[in-house]
């Protein structure tokens, strides 16, 4: 593998969850800022699909790809 295909491969292995784009730090503020940026960009798609309000107060195990920033 080489060239552009290698660049795409390397990006997805390095930063598939957007951490290079939005995660400025690995402390609570860094994750809060990442979530705010993500929801500003994608919230109109995320909230209707995820329906977070329906699981408020429940213990939920979410298995997927991501930084784990959703609350």
Q: What is the pLDDT of residues 11-40, one digit of tens each?
A: 888 877 777 777 888 888 988 888 888 889
Q: By the 8 A CB rule, do 30 and 23 touch?
A: yes
Residue 25, phi then psi, degrees to nearest 5: -160, 160
| Whole-number pLDDT of residue 40 | 92
Tell me, yes or no, if the pTM score tops 0.85. no
Instruction: Please identify which residue in the block is written with the tokens 């939920």.
Output: 60
Domain ranges within the chain, ordered by starting residue? 3-55
Average pLDDT, the chain: 84
Of all residues in the chain, what percent carry a pLDDT higher than 90?
Answer: 15
Say yes or no to pLDDT of 66 above 70. Answer: yes
């Amino acid at each position: 593998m080489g060239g552009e295909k290698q660049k795409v491969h390397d990006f997805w292995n390095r930063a598939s969850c957007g951490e290079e784009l939005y995660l400025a730090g690995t402390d609570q503020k860094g994750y809060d800022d990442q979530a705010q940026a993500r929801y500003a960009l994608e919230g109109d798609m995320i909230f209707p699909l995820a329906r977070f309000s329906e699981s408020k107060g429940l213990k939920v195990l979410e298995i997927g790809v991501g930084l784990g920033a959703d609350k």
